[in-house]
Structure 1
Amino acid sequence: MNLVNLESVSHAYGPKPLLSDVSLGVEVGERIGVVGRNGGGKTTLLSVISADVRPDSGRVTHTRGLRVGMLTQHDALDPAMPIREIVLGEKAEHEWAGDQGVREILSNLIGDLDLEAKAGDLSGGERRRTALAQLLIEEHDLIMLDEPTNHLDIEAIAWLAGHLSGRKSALVVVTHDRWFLDAVSTRTWEVVDGRVERYEGGYAAYVLAKAERARIAQAAEERRQNLMRKEIAWLRRGPPARTSKPKFRVEAAQALIADEPPARESVELLRFAAVRLGKTVYDLEDVTLHAGGPGSGPLVLDDCTWQFGPGDRVGLIGVNGSGKSSVLRLLADTVQLDSGRMTRGKTVRLAHLSQELAELDPTRRVLETVEEIRKYIQVGKKEWSASQLLERLGFKGEAQWKVVGDLSGGERRRLQLLRLLMDDPNVLLLDEPTNDLDIETLNELEDLLDGWPGTLILVSHDRYFLERVTDKCVALLGNGKLSFLPGGVDEYLARRAQGTALTARTTSLQPTPAQIQPAAPQEGMSAKEERELRKELNRLERQLDRLGDQEAKLHAAMADAASDYAKLGSLDAQLRDILDQKDTVEAEWLELADRLSD
């Protein structure tokens, strides 16, 4: 049974039709993800479905008594109203405190916020969480969310996905967070050119289905062209000769991507990176850092050692306020460390995309603003003009001649990023680069970064983007420690869920077991058993030290052999073998350390 039906709905703002003769329905319990370009009509579609906007033509019908909950991009919270009243309404404390579902929502969205705090005193992220908590505590038949993951960290996004998947309500969600789409959606709607194209499954299934549709369309066009050629030949020659009909077969989903190359040619990029960067990028030794500079603000790093090499692609993750942006500012030399030493390579050419939008001349044209940096840039083996790169990041045709002062926040973000790339850096520090970018633009940005040969350090709550463009993850938990996560975001979430502190690991983002002290041995363990375990632990530590030395030598050899592709490939194979051995030894060491600490 459909909760909502749209029949031949059309709607436009100005001359541009956002919805054109759209007919569709939302079924009971259905979970739908809505995708499409910015300004393409996604928010309009939600507003029409929820009956907040009356369409220019067509009909929208709701089942009787339908309870709709809507989260818009901009909340309408009363600034004088406290969080308690906004979220819990008139519920008595014993009423909501005894409800496990309410407590879970408050714990994961409100957290440590004072329930008596006024909405007017909250930050944008805190207001967003408050509005979301208010919506989820209530009961609805249909929940509609417009960019619900904005201002949420990775942990909160994972919780929200699980919460929504467990609810019986139907769901329609607009988001650019592709991991979230895959986690919650059973169907995908794409709003494009006034139409709503429908696909089964979440984002991954949508991508495969769209690729298959494109392949079929291409085959149909080739068939049409072939028939036209035959028709022209017949007109010239008379009756056509017998010809065999072309055969087209529909490939399975796996066949669509079976022969695809890897997203990044790691060896090739490392060769370019080593040539441009040399052996040293950043070396941090025994660094202590506070967010506001020496002794000011929260502690971010406490006596940490960390190394970045040429071609490293690192994702920084952690709870909000843990200091991820402060680490980027340290690397950009805009905040001073308390103690320790940071060495930057002599060949480093840095570009830092912060969360604040850089000042741009509002009277200049978009293309002029980019070309004043550089008109052409080499990305990998290909040269791109400023106009071509603008087109890839969503500035097509006349949009390149728009005045900067008329751009939206998302467009300014894209322009700022492109100006940084045109300056030809070899080290990129990116702080939330995906803010306000739609999925198509994100795909283009990922493809652009795939061919960019340099060191990349990324802070992002967009899990899909993070896992797509980086090769390793490091966690900051706000306790001054770093943790290398071989298991990536999944490992981070698992350890956070267990409530255990992440283990500090250093030296090229690899662990230094000597810095991880096991707790006292379990009561009841014999002295002999403890001695044997510690003896084995020491042996593994020595083995890790030897493997670390071999790894360092291989990195140096690869930098020296940057122009010898064959030798570089051989060295890379040796490096992978060393890293596999290190992973095995580390796993054994951690298992023994856990036995000693149990």
Structure 2
Amino acid sequence: MNLVNLESVSHAYGPKPLLGEVSLGIEAGDRIGVVGRNGDGKTTLISVIAGTLKPDAGRVTHTRGLRIGFLSQRDDLDPAVTVREVVLGERAEHEWAGDQAVREILANLIGDIDLSARAGELSGGERRRTALARLLIDEHDLVILDEPTNHLDIEAIAWLAGHLSQRRSALLVVTHDRWFLDAVSTRTWEVVDGTVQRYEGGYAAYVLAKAERARIAQASEERRQNLMRKEIAWLRRGPPARTSKPKFRIEAAQALIANEPPVRDTVELVKFASARLGKTVYDLDQVTLHAGGPGEGPLVLDRCTWQFGPGDRVGLIGVNGSGKSSVLRLLADAVRPDSGTVVRGKTVRLAHLSQELAELDPNRRVLETVEEIRKFIQVGKREWTASQLLERLGFRGEAQWKVVGDLSGGERRRLQLLRLLMDDPNVLLLDEPTNDLDIETLNELEDLLDAWPGTLVLVSHDRYFLERVTDRCVALLGDGRLSLLPGGVEEYLQRRSSGTALTARAGSAPAGSRAPAAGEAGGGRQEAAPAAPGLSARELRELQKELSRLERQLDKISGRESVLHAAMADAASDYGRLASLDAELKDLRAQKETVELEWMDLAEKLGE
């Protein structure tokens, strides 16, 4: 059944046309993700579809009795009304408490919020989750969501994706979270230059289809195509689940990636990073840390021993409130541990992007603000000017001459990140760097970081970005440890769902009534996982060093594998040479398997 029709719809803000003669429709069961650059009209499109914005021209038709649930980017809640009234309205407690679906929504979105609290007392993130819970507990024929993952942690995003996939209503969602797009959508709309380009499949399928269109048309934008090919190369070489998403034939895209090198030359980057940093970056020894200062606030680390080495690219995962930002501040020397020692390498040149925007002179021009740090920077094998890097991160043409005071929050964050990169650091601590960045800018940032040699520690709820730019994940699971996750985000979610981690969100709830967890009669919480094996500090350090050595060995083996594959391609007609290379490759794979088994044994001893 057709739910919504747009016929020749046009709309503009001032002189800029956002939609031009757009005609499209939404049918029952459609699951559509909307992508496009900031300012190109995504929010305008969904507002027109929802009926909250009347277009300048054209016609919008809704089927009779259509029930639309619309989550806008602005959460307009009456500050005097309680959370209970906002979300549950006039429902009696026995009605919602006896409804399994409602209890699950409340537990996963507002389980840590006092239902008697006033909306005016909530933080921005709490207001967002409250508005989302209010929408989801009602029945709709069409659910329209504008950036629903803002302020949600990885666990909540995974739950929301699963919940939306099970709903019977049609779905239209605007988001920059590419993992979420792949998880919930079966079609993709790209809003660009006043038009809406339509693709079958989620984000992975959209990337492949767009690249194929560009290849067939032989587009003249060479750098843009190179970025697309690199993105495809990563998608094809990433986790198997990622390539199972596209529903259309992908063989035609193989021509684009046949000779594409790995996304990052890990061996070369580690070698360069070691030359810049030496052997020591950060050594944590028996560190205890509370989020609010010595003995104050939640416990983040409890006698934790860990090492960050040269060239490490680490994603730090945990629920909101688990202490991820506190760990970054510890590494940045912005806070002191309760006890234990943090040894920083003598050559460390640090850049820390926090969630707070740094003070910038509001009267300076954007380009001047960057050039006062440095006018040129070497990234990989290429030298970039401040103006070229500004263009890569979305400041094009006249935008480089805007006054800083006129920038939006997202633009100021991009500017802050670029100023940090221009200072040529060898250690990057990034706390939610993807906030307010559109997908194309994210692609540019990922490509920039691919060639950056140094140690990177990243906190992000953008799962796609996290998996894309880091090589391994470490989690704060509520037990005072940094836990290595060989299986990445998927292992983290499994640990959380299986009860092998503390429920940090539930533990931080204010006094008063809380929404019960799904399946609970009361508000119980899970117990912590067993403590780490009783190893001494010296034994832990030795095991960590050995683990790092094995990881570096695996990186070298992977690099040699790539060299052998290239040599075998060159020697396709030389059967003697091919046999020799094939024998060496088999030996290398056997060696890799042995090293991987050693690594797994060590990881098990460490309790990871």
| 2:560 maps to 1:582 | no
User: Equivalent residue for 1:46?
Assistant: 46
Secondary structure class of the residue paired with 1:484 = strand
User: Equivalent residue for 1:444?
Assistant: 444
Q: Structure 1 residues 574, 323: closer, same or farther in 2, change over 3 A?
A: farther
| Cα RMSD after superposing both structures | 2.9
Distance in structure 1 (CA, Å) of the matches to 2:544 and 2:115: 52
Distance in structure 1 (CA, Å) of the matches to 2:303 and 2:16: 57
User: Equivalent residue for 2:465?
Assistant: 465
User: Equivalent residue for 2:300?
Assistant: 300
Distance in structure 2 (CA, Å) of the matches to 1:155 and 1:362: 37
Distance in structure 2 (CA, Å) of the matches to 1:393 and 1:337: 36
TM-superposed deviation, 1:256: 3.3
TM-superposed deviation, 1:479: 3.1
AA at the equivalent of 1:369: T
User: Equivalent residue for 2:578?
Assistant: none
| 2:319 maps to 1:319 | yes
Could you give the per-residue CA deviations for residues 149-192 of structure 1, whole angstroms, max 9, x where no partner exists? 00000000000000000001001000000000000000000000
Gaps of 5+ in 2: 223-249, 503-529, 557-562, 564-583
Distance in structure 2 (CA, Å) of the matches to 1:475 and 1:581: 22
User: Equivalent residue for 1:228?
Assistant: none
User: Equivalent residue for 2:378?
Assistant: 378
Distance in structure 2 (CA, Å) of the matches to 1:117 and 1:39: 35
Distance in structure 1 (CA, Å) of the matches to 2:220 and 2:426: 44
AA at the equivalent of 1:454: G
User: Equivalent residue for 2:138?
Assistant: 138
User: Equivalent residue for 1:82?
Assistant: 82
TM-superposed deviation, 1:345: 0.3
Secondary structure class of the residue paired with 1:104 = helix
Q: Structure 1 residues 575, 336: closer, same or farther in 2, change over 3 A?
A: farther
User: Equivalent residue for 1:283?
Assistant: 283
Q: Structure 1 residues 287, 546: closer, same or farther in 2, change over 3 A?
A: closer
AA at the equivalent of 2:386: A
Matches within 5 A, 1:519-538: none
Secondary structure class of the residue paired with 1:252 = helix
AA at the equivalent of 1:418: L
Matches within 5 A, 1:26-425: 26-218=26-218, 252-425=252-425
AA at the equivalent of 1:253: A
Distance in structure 1 (CA, Å) of the matches to 2:156 and 2:543: 40
Secondary structure class of the residue paired with 2:24 = strand
Task: Give the number of aligned pairs.
Answer: 521
Secondary structure class of the residue paired with 1:435 = coil
Could you give the per-residue CA deviations for residues 186-239 of structure 1, whole angstroms, max 9, x where no partner exists? 0000000100000000000000000001011117999xxxxxxxxxxxxxxxxx
Distance in structure 2 (CA, Å) of the matches to 1:576 and 1:372: 47
Could you give the per-residue CA deviations for residues 336-366 of structure 1, whole angstroms, max 9, x where no partner exists? 1111011000000000000000111111111
TM-superposed deviation, 1:262: 0.9
AA at the equivalent of 1:582: E
Could you give the per-residue CA deviations for residues 448-468 of structure 1, whole angstroms, max 9, x where no partner exists? 000000000000000000000
Distance in structure 2 (CA, Å) of the matches to 1:575 and 1:296: 48
2:188 and 2:203 in contact (8 A); partners too = yes
Secondary structure class of the residue paired with 2:218 = helix
User: Equivalent residue for 2:230?
Assistant: none
Q: Structure 1 residues 465, 128: closer, same or farther in 2, change over 3 A?
A: same
Distance in structure 2 (CA, Å) of the matches to 1:53 and 1:320: 34
User: Equivalent residue for 1:239?
Assistant: none
Distance in structure 1 (CA, Å) of the matches to 2:476 and 2:294: 19
AA at the equivalent of 2:103: R
Q: Which TM-score applies when normalising by structure 2? A: 0.81
User: Equivalent residue for 1:474?
Assistant: 474
Distance in structure 1 (CA, Å) of the matches to 2:219 and 2:389: 29
Distance in structure 2 (CA, Å) of the matches to 1:493 and 1:406: 40
Could you give the per-residue CA deviations for residues 534-574 of structure 1, whole angstroms, max 9, x where no partner exists? xxx9xxxx9x9789548649969x99xxxxxx9xxx9x999
2:277 and 2:310 in contact (8 A); partners too = yes
Could you give the per-residue CA deviations for residues 483-535 of structure 1, whole angstroms, max 9, x where no partner exists? 11000000000110011138xxxxxxxxxxx97349xxxxxxxxxxxxxxxxx
AA at the equivalent of 1:179: W
User: Equivalent residue for 2:6?
Assistant: 6
1:426 and 1:454 in contact (8 A); partners too = yes
2:68 and 2:141 in contact (8 A); partners too = yes
Q: Structure 1 residues 191, 551: closer, same or farther in 2, change over 3 A?
A: closer
> Which contiguous aligned blocks of 4+ residues in structure 1 show a shift greater than 4 angstroms?
219-222, 544-556, 572-579, 586-590
AA at the equivalent of 1:212: E
2:475 and 2:482 in contact (8 A); partners too = yes
Distance in structure 2 (CA, Å) of the matches to 1:440 and 1:176: 9
1:187 and 1:198 in contact (8 A); partners too = yes
Distance in structure 2 (CA, Å) of the matches to 1:377 and 1:178: 29
Distance in structure 2 (CA, Å) of the matches to 1:281 and 1:576: 27
Q: Structure 1 residues 264, 64: closer, same or farther in 2, change over 3 A?
A: same
2:547 and 2:602 in contact (8 A); partners too = no
AA at the equivalent of 1:371: E
Matches within 5 A, 1:428-443: 428-443=428-443
> Identity, % of aligned pairs?
78
Secondary structure class of the residue paired with 1:352 = strand
1:182 and 1:204 in contact (8 A); partners too = yes
Matches within 5 A, 1:549-568: 549=546, 552=549
Could you give the per-residue CA deviations for residues 354-403 of structure 1, whole angstroms, max 9, x where no partner exists? 00001111111111100000000011111100001001001111111111
Distance in structure 1 (CA, Å) of the matches to 2:26 and 2:173: 12
Distance in structure 1 (CA, Å) of the matches to 2:317 and 2:345: 25
Secondary structure class of the residue paired with 2:125 = helix
Gaps of 5+ in 1: 223-249, 503-513, 519-536, 560-565
Distance in structure 2 (CA, Å) of the matches to 1:583 and 1:479: 23
Q: Structure 1 residues 199, 304: closer, same or farther in 2, change over 3 A?
A: same
Q: Structure 1 residues 396, 576: closer, same or farther in 2, change over 3 A?
A: farther
| 2:16 maps to 1:16 | yes
Could you give the per-residue CA deviations for residues 113-170 of structure 1, whole angstroms, max 9, x where no partner exists? 1111110111111110100000000010000000000000000000000000000100
AA at the equivalent of 1:580: E
Distance in structure 2 (CA, Å) of the matches to 1:550 and 1:197: 48
AA at the equivalent of 2:599: D
Could you give the per-residue CA deviations for residues 257-306 of structure 1, whole angstroms, max 9, x where no partner exists? 33321110001101110111011000000000111221222111100001
1:37 and 1:192 in contact (8 A); partners too = yes
Q: Which TM-score applies when normalising by structure 1? A: 0.83
Distance in structure 1 (CA, Å) of the matches to 2:95 and 2:343: 57
User: Equivalent residue for 1:506?
Assistant: none
Structure with the bigger RCO (C-alpha within 8 Å, sep 6+) is: 2
Secondary structure class of the residue paired with 1:419 = helix
User: Equivalent residue for 2:516?
Assistant: none
User: Equivalent residue for 2:532?
Assistant: 516
1:282 and 1:308 in contact (8 A); partners too = yes
AA at the equivalent of 1:74: R
Distance in structure 2 (CA, Å) of the matches to 1:301 and 1:545: 20
TM-superposed deviation, 1:251: 5.5
AA at the equivalent of 1:581: L
Could you give the per-residue CA deviations for residues 388-437 of structure 1, whole angstroms, max 9, x where no partner exists? 10010011111111111111111101000000000000000000000000
